A = this chain, B = another copy of it.
Amino acid sequence: MSVTAPQGFRAAGVRAGLRAHGERPDLALVVNDGPQQVAAGVFTRNQVKAAPVLWSQQVLQEHDLRAVVLNAGGANACTGPDGFGDTHRTAEHVAEVLGCGAIEVAVCSTGLIGERLPLEKLLAGVDAAAGELADGEEAGTRAATAVLTTDTVDKQAAASRHGWTVGGFAKGAGMMAPSLATMLVVVTTDAVVDAGTADAALRDATARTFDRLDIDGSTSTNDTVLLLASGASGVEADADAFTEVVTEVCADLARGLQADAEGVTKRIAVTVTGARDDHDALVGARAIARDSLVKTALFGSDPNWGRIAAAVGASEATVEPGTLSVTVNGVLLCEAATAVGDRSKADLSGPEVTVEVDLGLGDGQATVLTTDLSHAYVEENSAYST
């Protein structure tokens, strides 16, 4: 159930003292001992990219990673050339300790935007982490825990199939939207795969999982999903099977991110069917998932389906009122854009809510996962940097 579930990986999580408050660990190291060091990465589409994203994107052009170093306590975003220098220095230090090149080390950072990291503490933390590198589930969990910010639990997953294993961890609890969500994710595997297979599998998996998670419509400067393949199982993976298992692990991690989102009291799955095409379905589902009025109504366990109809109607998706229906928790409340049945029959008192919108225009469909908009979300996010 962790990045160390596949063979060929060691991990560590230590306290480097980067966080403003508290005693929690804040630095993680994941090392691929091979024999292969194939890697792939998917990054934020935000035009304002953090230093570690700029660095890791460059490094990933080689599809070859020996290690990933991750830190909480600061995003190292909007820190200029000096911030980029800090990331470079961190990668060099990891490389020195492991005896590889800096170009084989990816860097991920998370936390407040616009503050420099305390570099000396960070480099000392790298030394400490290198000294504690270990295989086994406990080491993986220590790494998964060290990168949490407003997360309340670690998010880990693993699956074994066909003689090889895929494992991973994720962090992220807010600022989540397409373009990955504010997340750092490391996925590992001991399958034997080439760079093209790894890259294609990761792109496909993220498009179907993390890209369908939309907590608040906000897209971070630091989103990074990395895949490291050690080949240590000695078993070559079929490309389709590999994509399937990577997708399974990513979906598991995405559900974990949803369940632990900032201030969540309801886990909401918004499905649009009957769209002109899948893209239109996704556009409509995202619009509903992002709508503050829909999300506050669901926080209040209020089946106010009119807001759902209004949200999809206001989106870029093609909507014909005459064929629009809305079902909430299995109860059809609106057909042909007209009220049917009794809205009080849709019981929303539980933590799971399904919103199904049928546009009645075609075969396109998509599901987006989101959460409600609660007092706790406002509370957490109104007091983050101060």
Chain A positions near chain B (C-beta within 8 angstroms):
45-49, 75, 77-80, 83, 112-116, 174-175, 177, 179, 216-221, 290-293, 296-297, 299-307, 309-314, 318-321, 324, 333-334, 336-339, 343, 373-375, 377-379, 381-386
Contact = CB atoms under 8 A, between A and B. Distances in A.
A381 B300 CA distance: 8
Copies of this chain, count:
2
A379 to B, nearest CB: 8
Contacts of A309: 48, 77-78, 113-114, 221
A321 B113 contact: no
Contacts of A319: 47-48
Given A305-B114, A313-B46, A321-B47, A296 B377 contact: yes
Given A334-B78, A336-B80, A321 B114 contact: no
A292 B217 CA distance: 8
B381 A296 contact: yes
A290 to B, nearest CB: 7
A220 B337 contact: no
Q: What are the 5 A-B residue pairs with the smallest beta carbon separation, nearest first?
A: A113-B306, A300-B382, A48-B313, A80-B338, A296-B381
Contact of A306 (B75, B80, B307, B381): B75
User: In terms of DSSP, what is the predominant structure of the interface of chain A?
Assistant: loop
Given A293-B216, A302-B385, A386-B302, A114 B314 contact: no
Nearest to A344: B386
Nearest to A54: B321
B293 A174 contact: yes
Contact of A310 (B48, B293, B336): B48
A184 to B, nearest CB: 15
Contact of A334 (B83, B114, B292): B114
30 contacts: A46-B310, A46-B313, A47-B318, A48-B319, A48-B321, A75-B306, A77-B309, A112-B306, A113-B305, A113-B307, A114-B334, A114-B338, A174-B293, A175-B293, A175-B307, A175-B310, A216-B292, A217-B290, A218-B310, A219-B313, A296-B377, A296-B382, A297-B385, A299-B382, A301-B386, A302-B383, A302-B384, A304-B385, A373-B378, A375-B379
Contacts of A320: 47
A63 B319 CA distance: 28
Contacts of A174: 293
